[in-house]
């Protein structure tokens, strides 16, 4: 999954974004030395890994930055676990908004084209969903969209509080 960080930084400069980048408190090497390869320890290990690498930094960012509302790009058609979510919800003392919840792949394509925005560079390599390099597979490798993340054991990383 090389090149993602560079692509993100170039896009941030182009769009003049004021990014605040939050990272896990433990480096990947320290995390692995301390807990082993959590992503290889079944659903429980994957959930622990996701909490340490993804949800903890997100919770910390929302709290430290005093965020009262945030936007996410979830779409209903991306997975079974997202079918019944609402476009606006009050969660953990702040609003979470999902402005493209009912968009199709075609809607995304048209928006990106109209605004001259790039697809994620890994899309061209067959990745239809991006999680992390340990547990994300191309559609060709996984054989099914739902199985492209977390070896098909689950779909969500926990940031959005969804099941699956």
Distance from C-alpha of 103 to C-alpha of 76, rounded to nearest angstrom: 8
3-state secondary structure of 102: coil
CATH of domain 4-152: 3.40.50.620
CA 41 to chain centre: 21
State the catalytic residues.
Answer: 157
**pTM of structure:** 0.85
Q: Could you read off the pLDDT of 62-74 as tens digits, one per residue?
A: 999 999 999 999 9
Locus of tokens 């509302």: 69
Chain length of the chain: 164
Q: Could you read off the pLDDT of 80-130 as tens digits, one per residue?
A: 888 889 999 998 899 999 999 999 999 999 999 999 999 888 888 999 888
């Amino acid at each position: 999954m090389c090149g993602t960080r560079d692509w993100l930084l170039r896009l941030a400069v182009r769009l003049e974004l004021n990014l605040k980048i939050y990272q896990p408190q433990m480096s990947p090497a320290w995390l692995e030395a301390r807990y082993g390869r959590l992503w290889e320890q079944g659903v429980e290990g994957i959930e622990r890994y996701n909490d340490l690498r993804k949800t903890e930094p997100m919770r910390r960012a929302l709290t430290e930055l005093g965020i009262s509302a945030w936007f996410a790009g979830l779409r209903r058609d991306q997975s079974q676990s997202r079918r019944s979510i609402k476009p606006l919800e009050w969660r953990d003392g702040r609003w979470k908004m999902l402005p493209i919840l009912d968009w199709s792949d075609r809607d995304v394509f048209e928006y990106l084209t109209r605004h001259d925005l790039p697809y994620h560079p890994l899309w061209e390599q067959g990745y239809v969903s991006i999680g992390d390099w340990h547990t994300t597979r191309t559609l060709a490798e996984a054989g099914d969209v739902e199985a492209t993340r977390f070896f098909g054991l689950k779909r969500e990383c926990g940031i959005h509080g969804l099941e699956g």
